[in-house]
Structures are given as structure tokens and as C-alpha cells.
Amino acid sequence: MGQTVFIPRELDANEPRVAASPDTVKRLAGLGFDVIVEGGAGTASRIPDEEFAKAGAVIGKSGDVAKADVVLKVRRPDGAELKAYRPGTAVIAIMDPYGNDAAVDALARAGVTAFSMEFMPRITRAQSMDVLSSQANLAGYQAVIDAAAEYDRALPMMMTAAGTVPAAKAFIMGVGVAGLQAIATARRLGAVVTATDVRPAAKEQVASLGAKFLAVEDEEFKAAETAGGYAKEMSREYQAKQAALTAEHIAKQDIVITTALIPGRPAPKLVSTAMVASMKPGSVIVDLAVERGGNVEGAVPGQVVTTANGVKIVGHLNVPGRVAASASLLYARNLFAFLETLVDKTTKTLAINRDDELVKATMLTDGGQVVHPAFAGKPAVMIASAAPAKPAAAKKPALPKKAAASKKAATPKSPANKSKGIA
């Protein structure tokens, strides 16, 4: 009998995605794994149990996680779930560790080897594993769809015998993966699109999609990008100038979509109450950063708020999950691509190479300790268990001596800081 991969049903009521697809189940079996999918895990993503079974999975129950060598999830397991995990189990998910120290410590105390997929380095080898890009791409698309649903007018210009309907004006704030997809989608729907970002390179990207770039292009702006292509934090003076330009522009827009996130920090406020008040009745703002405090003053997580002047502020949670059927397929492929690198192709068993750059960048906990350089420092006491540790976690290395020196390389380069966007 081979090693076992378990795919649970997500317990969060706001999480419809699943960490596997029929395609990845077949691929996992090809790697030598026995695959167990918890019953109903894919229902909200339009993948019935029968499809997983046809692909070679066994449909099981939540308690089957105790058999697992590898657990593939969308969201980080909570304390109640971890009680059923055996020490040494490799857990691969979007761990969301920033600001969740207690949850990270719980992973360490459970003795699991946890990998945080959002820390995947942006290198050529890892492109197929980049969950932030795959999910943000869909978030940018869905943001435009949500805006169009709330906007009670047509987006494209329409010339009819009865007269001309003007095109909607859409403004995208943050040109990361989400922002670029939002630009492309809004353009496809016929809107007149402008966009802003602090990276000079974004100007060319915006233009290539047929949109107009808006920014204060002074000397500071020209030096606002690191050698690696990531955005630098701008001075207060620059932010004030950019805010003034943005405020004037927002007053003329029908749709505004904000995507700005900074890893480990609250989302920066980009749209003030005064800016919202300057917009026309019926205008729509979609805040993709609402789960991190929001870019828009007045945005409420999980709600669509209508202001006194008739502007709708959309604050949907888990926007990629609003297109779960598509998001799950991409996310599952991301997970498989990463897990494949952890498998010995000769023995067809899990063989984690802790010196591998992908492992170093993503491993959050291991052997009862928090080992990621960005979070390490407080050893956790491992939860007592009669179950033996897994072969994959037989080694319990301490944090490498050179961790401090390699921190820069290992620190997660979230797409959020690449363009001050969601990805």
C-alpha cells in the first residue's frame, strides 16, 4: 500500500473551493499515492463525489485524515482539525500566517510539516505552483463581473437609432495579476479603462491592454521599483500628490476597483470618504482588499454598502471562491505541481528535501517548530501522540544557521508587493 493523500471538505462556510480535481486525483495516483477525498468536498465547486471516484479516489470521511501522509487543503486547518492529524503529516494549503501567530503555533504543536503556498517564490521553476497568481487572476475577473452586476447601466458604448449610450468609465487601482485581469475584462466588456500603480513598469503593461495609465511620474516614481521588479513604499509627499491626482480622477469614474495589499500589514487606504462622496449616484467601487481592512473607507467585509450619495461599495469576501468551479481546478493544479517536487520518483514516496529552495521558501512548521525565517523564534511544544512520526518528518532540523542570511531569499515575495495590487 502506498502513502496516502487526503483531501478534506473545507469547514469554513465562506470557502466553496476544494484542493483537488479529478485530473489531479489521477495524477496523484500516478505518483504512487492512495487518494482519499472526504465526501462532499467538491460539491460547492461542482465536482460530485462520483467524479473523484471515477478518477481513482476513495470517498471517505473526515476521520480518514488520521491515515494521511499528505493533506491538501485550501485554508489552514484549525485547532479542532489538527487534533486528528498525525505528527509528521505534510499539510499543504494557503496558511495565511501574518497576524495569526496562535494558529501558526498550533500547527507546530501538532507536529505537522506545514507548507504555506502563498509563499511560493516567483521563479520560473515555480510558475505552475503560484497560487496567488492563479487565484488573483480570477479575483480580478470576478471584480469586474460584480461591478457590472451592481452597475445599473450598460458598460460598452451603444449607438442606436434612439441615441448613443456612453461607455462606462472604469478605474483600476493596483496593476498586479488581479488588476491586469480586471483591466482586460473591463475592456472586453466595452468600458473605457484607466489604471494606476506605483511601479513604472506597470505603465507599459497597462498600455498593452488598451488602457490609460495614471500616475504622478516624478523622479521618485521613476525609482519606485526594486531590481527584482517589486514596488517600493512611497514617501508621504508622493502619496499626497498621487492622492490629489487620484481624487480628481475618481470623481469622473463610474466603476473603481481597488486591489492594493501589502503582505503582513493592513491594506492601505486609497479611496477616502471624500472621494466616495465626489462620485456620481449609481457608481460602483469594488474593494478586493476588504479582508485585510480594505482600500476604501466605508467598505464593509461581506456586504454591499450604498452610501448617502448613492455609491455602492462592494466588499465581497473570498472573491476567487465566487468562481469556485474555476478557482478549484487551478488551485488543485498548483498543489499537485508543488507536491510532485516533494516525491522521490524512484520509490514513489514523499521525500522532502529541506535544502530545496521551494521548500525553504514555503515550509512554515516542521518537527514541532516554527521554521520559516519570517515567523521562527518561539519553539512550540509538540502535542503528545501515540502515533509514530511519518517517514517524511523523521528528521527534525532546527532552523538552519544561515537562515538569517537567507531571509531575504526565503521571505515570501507576495504578488501583492509586486504592483501594490492583490497579486
Per-residue pLDDT tens digits for 203-258 = 999 999 999 999 888 877 776 665 545 556 677 888 888 889 999 999 999 999 99
Is 287 a residue of the active site? no
Catalytic residue status for 122 = yes
Q: Are residues 260 and 402 in the same domain?
A: no
Which cell numbers hold the place of 308?
448617502
Q: Which of 78, 125, 127, 153 is catalytic?
A: 127
Asked if 231 and 286 sit in the same domain, the reply is yes
Q: Quick check: is 253 in a domain?
A: yes
Q: Which residues make Cβ contacts (< 8 Å) with residue 293, sequence separation at least 6?
A: 266, 267
Q: In this structure, what CATH number is given to the domain that contains residue 101?
A: 3.40.50.720
Q: Are residues 51 and 119 in the same domain?
A: yes
Task: Give the DSSP letter string of 163-229.
Answer: EEEPPPEEEEE--SHHHHHHHHHHHHTT-EEEEE-S-THHHHHHHHTT-EE----SHHHHT-B-TTS
* 332 lies in some domain: yes
The pLDDT of residue 422:
54
Active-site residue, selected from the candidate residues 85, 151, 230, 331: 230
User: Is 105 designated active site?
Assistant: no
233 and 368 inside one domain? no
Q: Is pLDDT at 412 greater than 60 in this prediction?
A: no
In a shared domain, residues 185 and 242: yes
Same-domain check for residues 334 and 363: yes
328 is catalytic: no
Cross-strand partners of 285: 256, 313
Annotated catalytic residue 127? yes
Q: Which of these three, 322, 343, 360, is where a domain ends?
A: 322
Percent of the chain with pLDDT over 90: 76
User: Phi, psi (5° rounding) for residue 276?
Assistant: -60, -45
Selected catalytic residue, list 64, 69, 130, 287 = 130
Query: Both 279 and 295 in a single domain?
Result: yes
- Last residue within a domain, chosen from 277, 293, 322: 322
Instruction: Looking at the structure, tell me whether residues 150 and 274 fall in a common domain.
Output: yes
The pLDDT mean for the chain works out to 88
Exposed/middle/buried for residue 31 (C-beta within 10 Å: 0-12, 13-18, 19+)? buried
Can you tell me the distance from the alpha carbon of 173 to that of 335, in angstroms, rounded to the nearest whole number?
29
Domain contains 287 = yes
Given the residues 3, 21, 133, 142, select the one marked as catalytic: 133
Please indicate, yes or no, whether residues 332 and 310 belong to a single structural domain of this protein.
no
Question: Locate cell 473523484: which residue?
Answer: 52
d(CA 18, CA 198): 35
Looking at the structure, tell me whether residues 266 and 388 fall in a common domain: no
Extract the runs of DSSP E, i.e. beta strands, from 21-62.
34-38, 58-60
Nearest to 349 by CA among 391, 393, 395: 391
Please give the pLDDT value at position 35: 98
Same domain? 199 vs 236: yes
* pLDDT above 60 for 382: no
Give CA–CA dist 408/410, Å, rounded: 6
Domain that holds residue 108: 4-130+324-419
C-alpha cell at 277: 462622496
Q: What is the pLDDT of residues 35-89, one digit of tens each?
A: 999 999 999 999 999 999 999 999 999 999 999 999 999 999 999 999 999 999 9
Q: Are residues 201 and 289 in the same domain?
A: yes
Of 322, 351, 367, which closes a domain?
Answer: 322
Instruction: Kindly state whether residue 364 falls inside one of the protein's structural domains.
Output: yes
Q: Confirm whether 135 is domain-assigned.
A: no
Total domains in the fold of the chain = 2
pLDDT over 60 at 168, yes or no: yes
- The answer to whether 101 and 370 have CB atoms below 8 angstroms apart is no
Please identify which of the residues 76, 122, 187, 322 carries the catalytic annotation: 122
